[in-house]
Amino acid sequence: MKLKVNAKLDPQFAPLSLVCRDMRAATAQDGQDIVIAIQRNKGYTSTYKTRIYKDGTGHDEENAKFVERMAKAMLWVAGGYKIVIAGSDVVGAKMKEAFSYGGSRDFDVRFMERVYETAFEVEVCALADAPEDKSAAAPIGRHLDGCRIGFDAGGSDRKVSAVINGESVYSEEVVWFPKVNSDPDYHYQGILEAMKTAASHMPRVDAIGVSSAGVYVDNRIMVASLFLKVSDEDFDKKVKNMYIDVAKEIGENIPIEVANDGDVTALAGAMDLNDNAVLGVAMGTSEAGGYVDPQGNITGWLNELAFVPVDYCENAMVDEWSGDYGCGVKYFSQDAVIKLAPAAGIELEESLSPAEKLKVVQGLMAEGDERAAAIYDTIGAYFGYAIAFYTEFYDIKHVLIMGRVTSGEGGVILLERAQEVLDKEFPELAAKIQLHIPDESSRRVGQSVAAASLPELN
């Protein structure tokens, strides 16, 4: 595999986007079709069709590794509790082994079971019986009529806006500490107080929109770092329906819509750009994603890009939480900067926190240090190839990047190198996809208005 744009500090980097392209080319004449389908709540299904080598031709292990990476990627892009492998019994058997308790994807299985409250399974079938796409995409957002509350739950502050016919008439940011509080009443009262404050600045409340980090299914909180210290028992009893319960206290039958903050960021970007097919990627403590489809809809997918593999090299850095290699969290976050620092010749004190280590590198970048520039150059190469990989699943016209890793001159270098990858390796994508760094102040205001616009009025 020869890269046209090298990842300067990571010579072993093997982009999955090129692996996909190479696999299609190698199997063009005598490969076999295969479909990977991911099923989730209400029977919603996302499918991915590709080609692999024919079973029994000496490529079974290669096929299995490739399909496992693609199934893993799909699982974290779309979310679900069932994988269907259509077109290869050999690969299907390998996937049953991997995606099981004690298998290589044990973490993924248990996480998805918690999200969807359903036992995880892998099903194998003939190609002719492959499931078809069933979409949950809905025209959520851009509803600007009436008196609305927009609430954005962050890990260090909570933001709320009172929005009347698309204009923010009041907004506030309040510092809070949700991640260190084990009492769910702390969270409940904080959210309720914010919404009551916003309500007091309007004649009535017609709708409530919520932007919050985490995984949400039917407006219920399934997994969210805000409630890190809350016990499982209290989570089930008091947290899962928290936003729904708070809305009832604001008023009876007020429509509420809860969405992942990544999706709301993408929606805010789409509203600002006045266009659709927007993928938003935040590079901060981890990698977060959000997506607005070509019709302007939020899809109901997980978009948990931190767990989506982007590097095929088995020697790539392992994520401590999921136990998997080559995943986005180690490529598009402060961890990526810290990981690359030694290769750049920058020594960071072990006693520093990850955020402090990032600040050291950013300080060097501000001084024009070439070693720091090489780190951002490498992340930019990673990102260009990752964008191409994301197009395997998303139809993209715009990519927004944000988060503390992208601030300052480093973000500019990162974006320039990503653009070079698209120009040289994927000219067909470069002609279609535009890369953006949104203005921070407009993004913060736009986020609350976008959140407020989520629900449709009854």
Q: Which residue has the tokens 């070439």?
A: 370
Residues 107 and 166 in one domain: no
- Check residue 442 and give its pLDDT: 54
* CB-CB neighbours of 218 under 10 Å: 10
Residues 192 and 210 in one domain: yes
> What is the spatial distance between Cα 382 and Cα 313, in angstroms, rounded to a whole number?
13
Q: Is residue 103 domain-resident?
A: yes
Which of 129, 158, 180 lies at the terminal end of a domain, its last residue?
A: 129
Residues 47 and 81 in one domain: yes
| Beta strands across the sheet bearing 157-164 | 167-175, 157-164, 147-153, 207-212, 256-260
Phi, psi of 44 (to 5 degrees): -60, 135
Q: Is residue 408 domain-resident?
A: yes
> What is the spatial distance between Cα 255 and Cα 32, in angstroms, rounded to a whole number?
48
Q: Is residue 457 domain-resident?
A: no
User: What is the domain range of residue 206?
Assistant: 147-261+447-452
Residues 252 and 279 in one domain: no
- Check residue 445 and give its pLDDT: 54
Counted residue by residue, the chain has a size of 458
Residues 368 and 270 in one domain: yes
Question: How far apart, in Å, do the first and last CA atoms of the chain sit?
Answer: 55
Number of domains in the chain: 3
Residues 276 and 412 in one domain: yes
> What are the distances in angstroms from CA 80 to CA 74, 110, 238, 426?
9, 11, 24, 30
Residues 164 and 272 in one domain: no
Residues 324 and 351 in one domain: yes
- Check residue 440 and give its pLDDT: 57
Residue 273 identity: L
Which of 70, 96, 129 lies at the terminal end of a domain, its last residue?
A: 129
Residues 350 and 248 in one domain: no
- Check residue 182 and give its pLDDT: 96
Q: Which two three-digit tokens encode residue 60? A: 């079974």
* CB-CB neighbours of 28 under 10 Å: 9
Residues 276 and 246 in one domain: no
> What is the spatial distance between Cα 191 and Cα 226, in angstroms, rounded to a whole number?
12
Beta carbons of 145 and 457 less than 8 angstroms apart: yes
Which of 129, 157, 182 lies at the terminal end of a domain, its last residue?
A: 129
CATH of the domain at 195: 3.30.420.40
Q: Which residue has the tokens 């993004």?
A: 443
pLDDT 10s per residue in the chain (458 long)?
899 999 999 999 999 999 999 999 999 999 999 999 999 988 999 999 999 999 999 999 999 999 999 999 999 999 999 999 999 999 999 999 999 999 999 999 999 999 999 999 999 999 999 999 998 777 778 899 999 999 998 887 889 999 999 999 999 989 999 988 999 999 999 999 999 999 999 999 999 999 988 889 889 999 988 898 999 999 999 999 999 999 999 999 999 999 988 888 888 888 888 999 999 998 988 898 999 999 998 888 999 999 999 999 999 999 998 999 999 999 999 999 999 999 999 999 999 998 899 999 999 999 999 999 999 999 999 999 999 999 999 999 999 998 889 988 999 999 999 999 999 999 999 999 999 987 755 555 567 788 999 999 87
Rg of the Cα trace of the chain? 22
**What is the dihedral sign for C-alpha 7, 12, 16, 19?**
positive
> What are the distances in angstroms from CA 403 to CA 239, 355, 389?
27, 12, 21
Q: Is residue 365 domain-resident?
A: yes
* Coil/strand/helix, residue 224: coil
Q: Is residue 154 domain-resident?
A: yes
